[in-house]
Amino acid sequence: MALMSYAAAAAAGLASAMRADQQVVALGEDLGRGGIFGQYRGLREEFGAERVIDTPISEATIVGASVGMALTGLKPVVEMRVMDFALCAMDEIVNQAAKNRFMFGGQGRVPAVIRMPIGIWSASAAQHSQSLESWFTHIPGLVVVTPASAQDNYSLLRAALDCGDPVVYLEHKELWGLEGEVDERRQAAFGLAQVVRSGQDLTIVTWSKAVHWSLAAAELLAAKGIDAEVIDLRTLWPWDRHAVFESAAKTGRVLVVHEAVQVAGFGAEIVATLAEEGGARLARLGGQRIPVGYSPGLEAQARLSPEAIAAKAESLLR
């Protein structure tokens, strides 16, 4: 076990994969200097410019090149800097990477890991603060991963590189400095959630940075005698229906929490699936349908908080 930051864990996971497999390469802007969050620190020095590739400022070119690389046998890790910039490469992601295996009868596969940091990034305004994970869960052929801890950012990145299909890998822009113990031997599998806090009175289902807000909210609820269970989905496609259904059956109340805009967010898919099963009281809480403002006051209006999560959870008990 080693104490690592969320960023350092990703760099360590990628370095381990690159040592084990010469076909793993990384490409994107600013990788040579370690990436803007330090998530590639030390890789250029160890693996050289032919495997840690600095690219022009063209997201469509970066992802398009990675699709070609993948089809010829490489395993590219693609850096979009922030999710917002990936919108310039949507055709390559949605129509090329996601559909290639299906459209060509399995003759080609695109084992690319496309890193798109999500979430509100303080003082970065509307074009650098989006969480668009629901866009990608909607697309057949894509795997969607949302690590919330340093351990998961190591283990899930390794799993993404072994997947064989395109993975939309969604780190959070404000978790890079988060530290935690990392066991480099621990493996992760897609579609397996983690119960990060056990409880009996209600279930909070969440992912990414909202896991940490939800844990803080659970402590606020505990002070009022309410015992909340918190589930970190870890991957959104596939998502762990079994873990969520099992917890819902135990507590009878489920609140789904995400930083993304609530309207048509992935929380709606979870709530709808639970509603079809019946038996639990359901609610969801997400961001407002507003652009994220630059000023601190406006930015604060777009953020969730442990207090808001706790208040919404209490409403399920009334």
Active-site residue set: 128
Angle in degrees, 0-180, between the axes of helices 150-161 and 6-20, rounded to the nearest 10: 30
**Among 72, 68, 4, which residue's Cα sits nearest to residue 41?**
4
Strands 143-145 and 235-237 turn out to be antiparallel
The CA distance from 122 to 70, in Å, is 35
**Among 20, 120, 108, which residue's Cα sits nearest to residue 72?**
108
- In the beta sheet, which residues pair with residue 281? 253
The CA distance from 131 to 126, in Å, is 11
Which own/partner contact pairs does 314-318 have at CB distance under 8 Å and 24+ positions apart? 314/221, 314/224, 314/226, 315/283, 316/202, 316/253, 316/254, 316/255, 316/281, 316/283, 317/201, 317/202, 317/226, 317/253
- In this structure, are residues 67 and 116 in contact, taking their beta carbons and an 8 Å threshold? no
CA distances from 300 to 42, 125, 129 (A): 35, 11, 12
Compute the C-alpha angle 186/243/303, nearest 5°.
Answer: 85
The CA distance from 313 to 309, in Å, is 6
